[in-house]
């Protein structure tokens, strides 16, 4: 039985120097994604939940932090995807709070929001843009 969560931990770009804000990091391929579900990738040491909803959003990808801010557990990629108040959301599998996929804002508790990451397809590669170094 195939799990609904794939952990994509490939690091195909050189990591001997911190990339700038314009650098995109390949994290997995299109084949690694599970339609209408989440997968998790490691970006700059942080777990990022990737969501691909081809039937609803076409070729749009979403990327938000995988760490549930209420519990501290890395479980958002295992959440159930759906619609709430006209928005695409993922429900935390633990406390069931809903996070908007487009920006990571928690619908019920905005102070518990997640970081949204820029994400794109580049050919067959899925790339995430990490935040600029402070």
Quickly count: other Cβ atoms within 10 Å of residue 60's Cβ. 16
Answer yes or no: is pLDDT of 132 > 70. yes
Which residue ranges form the domains of the chain, and what is each CATH number? 7-12+24-121 (2.102.10.10)
Question: 24-45 pLDDT, tens per residue?
Answer: 999 999 999 999 999 999 999 9
Answer yes or no: is pLDDT of 17 > 70. no
Q: What integer pLDDT is reported at residue 59 of this predicted model?
A: 80
Strand partners, 46: 43
Answer yes or no: is pLDDT of 9 > 70. no
The structure tokens listed for 52 are 């691909």
Q: What integer pLDDT is reported at residue 45 of this predicted model?
A: 93
What is the Cα–Cα distance from 70 to 53, expressed in whole angstroms? Answer: 25
What is the Cα–Cα distance from 64 to 114, expressed in whole angstroms? Answer: 6
What is the side-by-side strand order in the sheet with 125-128?
25-29, 125-128, 119-122
DSSP tag of 134:
-
Q: Which of 19-23, 56-60, 119-123 has the lowest mean pLDDT?
A: 19-23
Round to the nearest angstrom and report the end-to-end CA distance of the chain.
Answer: 43
CB 88 within 8 Å of CB 57: yes
When pLDDT is averaged across residues 76-80 and rounded to a whole number, the result is 98
Question: 52-63 pLDDT, tens per residue?
Answer: 999 886 788 999
What is the Cα–Cα distance from 123 to 29, expressed in whole angstroms? Answer: 9
The overall average pLDDT reported for the chain is 86
């Amino acid at each position: 039985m195939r799990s609904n969560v794939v952990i994509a931990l490939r690091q195909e770009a050189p990591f001997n120097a911190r990339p700038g804000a314009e650098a995109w990091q390949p994290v997995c391929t299109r084949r690694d994604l599970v339609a209408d579900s989440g997968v998790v990738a490691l970006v700059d040491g942080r777990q990022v939940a990737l969501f691909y909803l081809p039937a609803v959003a076409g070729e749009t990808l979403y990327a938000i932090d995988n760490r549930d801010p209420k519990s501290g557990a890395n479980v958002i990629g295992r959440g159930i995807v759906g619609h709430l108040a006209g928005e695409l959301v993922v429900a935390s599998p633990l406390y069931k709070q809903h996070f908007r996929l487009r920006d990571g804002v928690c619908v019920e508790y905005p102070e518990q929001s997640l970081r949204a990451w820029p994400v794109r397809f580049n050919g067959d590669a899925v790339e995430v843009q990490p935040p600029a170094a402070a």
